[in-house]
Each structure stands twice: as C-alpha cells, then as structure tokens.
Amino acid sequence: MTAITSSLRDITFEQQLAQRQRRGKILEIAALIAILLGIAMLLTLLVDVVIDGLPWLRPQLFTEFPSRFPEKSGLRSAIQGSIWLMVFTSIMVIPIGVGAGIYLEEFAPRNRLTEFIEINIANLAGVPSIIYGLLGLGLFVRGLGLGRSLIAGALTMTLLVLPIIIVTTREAIRAVPRSIRLAALALGASQWETARDHVLVYSMPAILTGVILAMSRAIGETAPLITIGALTYIAFDLRGPLDIFTVLPIQIFNWVSLPQKGFHDLAAAGIIVLLVLLLSMNALAIWLRNRLFIRW
C-alpha cells in the first residue's frame, strides 16, 4: 500500500516537474525574445541613423550655422545653446537639489509636513515635461519678464530635473551606514559637520551619478523649450544668458520636418552628435562612481 502511494506520488511529481520545467523553458524563451526585440529595435535605429548621418558628420557640422542648403548647414548655434543651457542649469540645480536632499534626509523632523513634501517631490518627478514648459512660460518668460532667453530655459530645466536630483541625493545619503554618523556624533562633531565631512563625502559618487543622469535627461528635452519659445533658426553666436537660443533636439526636430532629403540626413548626423554627448555624460557618471567610490 505504501509502496503504491509512494510510486504514485513519484509519477505525479515527475510529471509535474517536467511540466514545470517546460513552463520555465517557455518563459525563458519569451524573456529572451523580449530582450532580443529590444536590442534589435535599438540596433536598427542606431544602424539606420549612422548610415544616414555618418557622411554628414564633418567639421562644418560644428562650425556652421543652419542654412537653407543642407550642405552648408551646421549645428553651431544649437551646440552652443545646449552646452550653455547645461552649464546654467547645473549651476542652479545642483546646490538647490543636493541641499534639499541633505535637509530632508539629515535634518528635517519626521512629521506630516515633511511627509507631504516628500510625496509631492516624488510625484513631481513623474510630471510630463510639457507641463514644466507651460509653467516656465507663465512664470519665467512672462511673469518675471525674462523673455525667450537662455536663462528662462535654464530655470525651466532646473524645475524639471530638480525632483530627480532631490530623490537621487536622498537615496545616496540613505545608503551611508548609520554607524558612520553615530561615530562622528560620538566624537563630538555637530550634525552639520557630520553631514558635510562624512555623509556627503561618502555619498558623493552616487549623488554625482544622479546629477549627471538628470542632466542627460535635460539635454535631450525638447517639448518644454519649444513651449517657452526657444527658436528654430538662429544664425549667430550666443551673447549671454539673456539672449535668445536654440538647442540640439530642436534643430534636429526642425531638420526632420523639412521636405528635402539632405536635411533628413543632416538630422541623423545631429542625432549622432546628441547620442555621443549623452553617452559620454553617462560614461562620465560611471567613471566618477568607480573612481570616487569609498569603501567603509
């Protein structure tokens, strides 16, 4: 009797095992297809862009202004605009974002108010960028009378990436072991000294990674800048933060929408430039993280 039941159990177990393993195999293949699909799609896009854009990737692309002739067109004004936008945005967003993160993590009392603020920051990180564009249009362009200037664009971008930087800063700080804070405090360091000399130093690589990733998001944004009135055709050098401007994605967008094939290839070259810029920013983030990483 026992022998029968045990062998019966074995049979069902083995059957089930084979079935479970089959199911596992199917899921594995499905997952593999999913990743292959993603990679294939990315590769197709990259290869397509590189084939179209590579012949146009020449010095004039960086030294010339846009023109009605594709062969005379370049990204000079757009590259200037993008770089300066990054510089001004980071000058404004890094102190505010990192400062807010430090306050919320290290100093703020845990109460309803801070909870409310935290929820809102998390929600703000998910607001579509066009909304920030409208906010920037109302607040900076018209409200503060900054016009369609680079600084209005940088302020809008600051608002856009601020929540991201606050959230990553807080996560970075939270990863610092509590024992380090306690050790510093036990040796008589004030709360601020602890934060400055220990917590911040240890969390810096992760904070920087977050900042650079947030910046690479800002450099690829188009919608909010179009909303605040960044221009499409600019054929002169940028004169300062109050000057009108254009950026790489807007120039690319404009070239793609023109009827002539030459401009479409030129747009592909512009995409390569933007892609290289983005990838090098991400590489910088990884390098910084590895270089500054401190073991405790």
Partner 1 sequence: MSRVRFVLFLVVAFSLVLAACAPAATPTPERVVETVTVVETQIVEKVVETIITPTPGPVEGTILVDGSSTVAPITVAVAEEFQKQYPEVRVPVGISGTGGGFKKFCAGETDISNASRPIKESEVELCKKNGVEYIELPVAFDGLAVMVNPANEFVSCLTVEELKKIWEPAAEGKITRWNQVRPDFPNQPLNLYGPGVDSGTYDYFTQAIVGKEGESRGDFLPSEDDNVLVQGIAGDVNALGFFGLAYYEENKDKLKLVAIDAGDGNCVLPSAETVLNGTYQPLSRPLFIYVNRQRVDQKDEISAFISFYLQKAGELVSDVGYIPLSPEIYQLAQQRYDKRITGSVFEGVGSTVGVSLADLLAKEGQ
CA atoms within 13 A on the CB side of 265: 15
Smallest gap from residue 188 Cβ to partner 1 (A)? 22
Residues 66-105 that bind partner 1 (CB under 8 A): 66-68, 79-80, 83-84, 86-87
Residue among 126 and 259 whose Cβ is closer to partner 1 = 259
What span, in angstroms and rounded, lies between the C-alpha atoms of 286 and 277?
14
Handedness of CA 93, 97, 100, 102 (dihedral sign): negative
Q: Which stretch binds partner 1 (CB under 8 A): 33-41, 46-54, 95-103, 222-230?
A: 222-230
Residue 220 engages partner 1 in binding (rule: CB under 8 A): no
Residue 218 engages partner 1 in binding (rule: CB under 8 A): no
- Phi and psi torsions of 149, nearest 5°: -95, 165
Residue 189 engages partner 1 in binding (rule: CB under 8 A): no
Site residue total, partner 1 (CB under 8 A): 38
Q: If you search the block for the tokens 């910084």, which residue do you land on?
A: 288
Helix 76-102 × helix 150-174 angle, to 10°: 40
Which one among 231, 275, 278, 281 touches partner 1, defined by CB under 8 A?
Answer: 231
Q: Which stretch binds partner 1 (CB under 8 A): 22-30, 97-105, 177-185, 231-239?
A: 231-239
Q: Which residues, including other chains, have CB under 8 Å from residue 147's CB and lie 6 or more apart?
A: 141, 242, 244
Per-position x/- string for 121-160, each x denoting binding to partner 1 as judged by CB under 8 A, each - no binding: --------------------------xx------------
Structure tokens at 266: 């030129």
